Amino acid sequence: MSTPAPNISATAPRIRQLDEAAINRIAAGEVVERPASAVKELMENALDAGATRIEVAVAGGGKTLIRITDDGCGIAPKDLPLALARHATSKIDGSDLLDIHSFGFRGEALPSLGAVGRLTITSRAEGHEAAEITVAGGQMGAVRPAARGPGTTVTLRDLFYATPARLKFLRSERAEAQAISDTVKRLAMAAPRVAVTLRDVSGGGEGRVIFRAEAETGDLFDALSDRLARIMGREFTDNALRIDATREGLRLTGYAALPTYSRGAAVAQYLFVNGRPVRDRMLAGALRAAYQDVLARDRHPAAALFLDCDPHLVDVNVHPAKAEVRFRDPGLARGLIVSALRHALAEAGHRASSTVAGATLGAFRTPGHAQPYQMDRPSAQARNIAYQAQAPGFAEMADSWSGRVEEAPQGGEETPATALPLGGARAQIHENYIIAQTERGMVIVDQHAAHERLVYERLKAQAESGIAAQALLIPEIVDLPESDCAWLMEHATDLATLGLAIEPFGPGSLAVRETPAILGEVNAAALLRDILDELRDTGASEALRARIDAVLSRMACHGSVRSGRRMSAEEMNALLREMERTPKSGQCNHGRPTYVELQLTDIERLFGRT
C-alpha cells in the first residue's frame, strides 16, 4: 500500500509567481537573522556612504527599536523609493561581481527590513532638501518632506512584527543587546577613523551610552592600536605584537597577543578581509595553528587581524550575510597568517605579558593598611657606606642564611649582569625559582619551565633539518574513499617532509611506507583520518606536525632541569642568558609564563613606600 507524499497535494501542482512581499520576507530570513543582523546591514550602509560619525540607538534588545544616524552622503528624494526596491544598489553596476570595494552590494537589506518591520528612512543629500519615506510590512508610503542635516537616519521599529513566528526564535533582550554590541564593536574596529556611539534608549530620552569610540588619528597602526585599546582593553594592546607582512598580493596587518595573554575561549579573535568582519573557519584555523606549540589545548589566542588583497582574489558573495569568504588560493592566505604570526612570536624573544606581573602583585598579602611615606632613593656612594656599616653584623648570616649568590656591589659599581634584560642571578629558593636583579626591579624564573622551553626549541631546530623516517617492514594499507585518497596525495610532498610517506595502492586505498621515527609505533589509519578531518575543517593539516611537536615537548620536559635541583650561580646566569637569546622563552610549551618581572616601584608600593 503506497503512502502519498506529505508535501504534494492530491491535485496536480501549479507553478506560480510569488508576490514581491513574500519574496522580501523570504529574503529577510536569509539576510536578517536577528536584531544584530539589522544593525550590521545598516551600519555597513552608513560606512559605505562615507560617514565620519555613526550613532546606533536600540530599545528592547533591538526588537522594538533600532535607529542608525550618520553624516554620510545621504539619498536624494527621488531615489528613496528605489532604495527600498529589491536588488537596487549604488555600489556596483553588475558588470563584475568580484570587483567589490564596499560592504554592501546585494541591494537586499532595506527591502528585507521593510518587509518584516516598520522602516523609516530620513535623508538629506548635498544639493537637495531632506525627505522621508516609510514602509511597513512591505507596504511603501509616499515620499514626504522632512527636517534634518546632511546624512541619513534609518529607524526600524517592531522587527519581525510581520512574521511573528520569527520572534519566537529570538533570545532574551539582554542576549540580543549583547550581540548588537559585539556587531557594533567589530565594525568600529574596521573603521578606526569613524566615531561610533551605541546607546540603549529602552527607558526613553537620550538613554544610556553602552559604547563610545571617538575618531582615531595618526597612522594606520596608531589609529588601530587606539581603537583596539578602547574595544579590547589597554592590556591587549600593551601585550600585543604588531603584525605587518606581505606575500604575493596579500597583506596582513593588525595585532596579535603574546601567548601568556591568552583566553579561555575564542572570544577575542577578530578577523577582517578587505575591511569586512568575517567568521571564516580556514582563517581561524590558521590563527590556531600559528600558536600551536605555545598554547595549551584549552587556551585560545587573542588577535585582531586584517587581510587585504585585490577583490578579484577573494569571493565575498558566498553567503547572504557576507560573513564567509572564499579565497582563490586559500593555502596562500593561510600560509601568510601562520608564517607572519610565528615570525612575530619569534621576534618577541623572551617577552612575556605584563598581566602576569599584575597577577603576581595581586597575590601578595600585606598585613593591615600600609601608610605610605616618602623615601629618597640612596645614591651608590650612600649604599656603599651602608654596606660597610652593616658588614660586621651580617658577615656570618651571608655564609649560611643569605640567598645572595653574588657579592654585593662594592665601590659604587653596579653588577654588569643587572643591565641585561633578565638581570643577574641573586638566589635560588625552594630549589625551583631563580631570583634575579635587574636595573628596574627583579625577575622570578621558574627554572624547570624555562629550561623546558629552551630544550624544546633546540629539538625543534634539529628537527627542521628533516624528520627521520622509519620504513615499515610491511607497508600498511589504508582503505579510504577515492576522493579522500586524492586529497591526501595532493599533500603527499608536505607529509613526506614530516616523515610520513604515502602512495596510491589501487582504487580507494593508500599504502603507508614510512612513518616519523620519533613517533614510534603509529596507527597509520587513525593518523590519516585525523589529517583528513583537519583538511576538511581548515583546508590544511597540522595534525602530524602537532604529534611530532608533542613528542618533542615531552622529550624536552624529561630532559630539562628538574624542580628540586640546586643550581650554582654560573648555571643560573647561563640559563638567564640563554633565555634572552631564545625565541618564545617567555612561556613554556603549554603557554604558562616562565618568569615574572616586578618593577621596583611596585615592590616599594607593597611596603607603603612611594
Residues 120 and 61 in one domain: yes
Shared domain check, 169 and 313:
no
pLDDT of 297 strictly over 80 = no
Do 203 and 259 share a structural domain? no
Please report which confidence band the pLDDT of residue 82 belongs to, taking 50, 70 and 90 as the band edges: confident
Judged against a pLDDT cut of 70, whether residue 581 lies above it is answered with yes
Percent of the chain scoring above 90 in pLDDT: 30
Write out the DSSP string of 184-206: HHHHHHH-TTSEEEEEE-TTSTT
Closest by CA position to 422, among listed 593, 243, 258? 593
12 located within any domain: no
pLDDT of residue 129: 93
* Least-confidence region, from 4-18, 210-224, 386-400, 444-458: 386-400
Those residues whose C-beta lies under 8 Å from the C-beta of residue 491, and which sit 6 or more positions away, are 531, 535, 541
- Comparison of pLDDT for 426 and 97, the residue scoring more: 426
* Domain boundary residue, one of 213, 239, 269: 213
Same domain, 209 and 242: no
Amino acid at 503: E
Question: Domain total for the chain?
Answer: 3
Q: How many CA atoms are closer than 13 Å to the CA of 277, on its beta-carbon side? A: 19
Give yes or no: residues 138 and 244 share one domain.
no
Q: Say whether both 575 and 437 belong to one domain.
A: yes
Q: For 250-281, what is each residue's pLDDT tens digit?
A: 999 999 998 888 888 888 999 999 988 988 88
* Structural domain contains residue 325: yes
- Count CB neighbours of 303 within 10 A: 24
Q: What is the pLDDT of residue 282?
A: 87
* Cβ neighbourhood burial of 14 (10 Å; 0-12, 13-18, 19+): exposed
User: Do 92 and 122 have their domain in common?
Assistant: yes
Is 6 part of any domain?
no
Q: For position 562, which CATH number holds?
A: 3.30.1370.100
- pLDDT score recorded for residue 11: 63
Same domain, 82 and 138: yes
Q: How many CA atoms lie within 13 A of 22 on its CB side?
A: 4
DSSP state of 360: H
Report d(CA 517, CA 535) in Å as an integer: 23
303 in any annotated domain: yes
Q: What confidence tier does 293 reach under pLDDT thresholds 50, 70, 90?
A: confident
**pLDDT for 545:** 72
Distances (CA, A) of 367 to 35, 375, 557, 600: 52, 20, 39, 20
- State the residue for C-alpha cell 584555523: 285
- Among 330, 347, 364, the domain-final residue is 347
Domain stops at, among 178, 213, 248: 213
195: Cβ contacts below 8 Å, ≥ 6 apart: 52, 53, 54, 213, 214, 215
Please give the residue range of the domain that contains residue 112: 20-213
Same-domain status, 114 and 194: yes
Q: Is the per-residue pLDDT at 417 higher than 60?
A: yes
Backbone dihedral angles phi then psi of residue 245, each to the nearest 5 degrees = -140, 150
State the number of CA atoms in the 13 A half-sphere of 47 facing the CB. Answer: 26
Cβ atoms of 28 and 175 closer than 8 Å: no
* Domain co-membership, 207 together with 268: no
Confidence of residue 2 (pLDDT cuts 50, 70, 90): low
Same domain, 241 and 108: no
Residue 78 has what DSSP assignment?
G
14 in a domain, yes or no?
Answer: no
pLDDT exceeds cutoff 70 at 389 = no
Residues 304 and 322 in one domain: yes
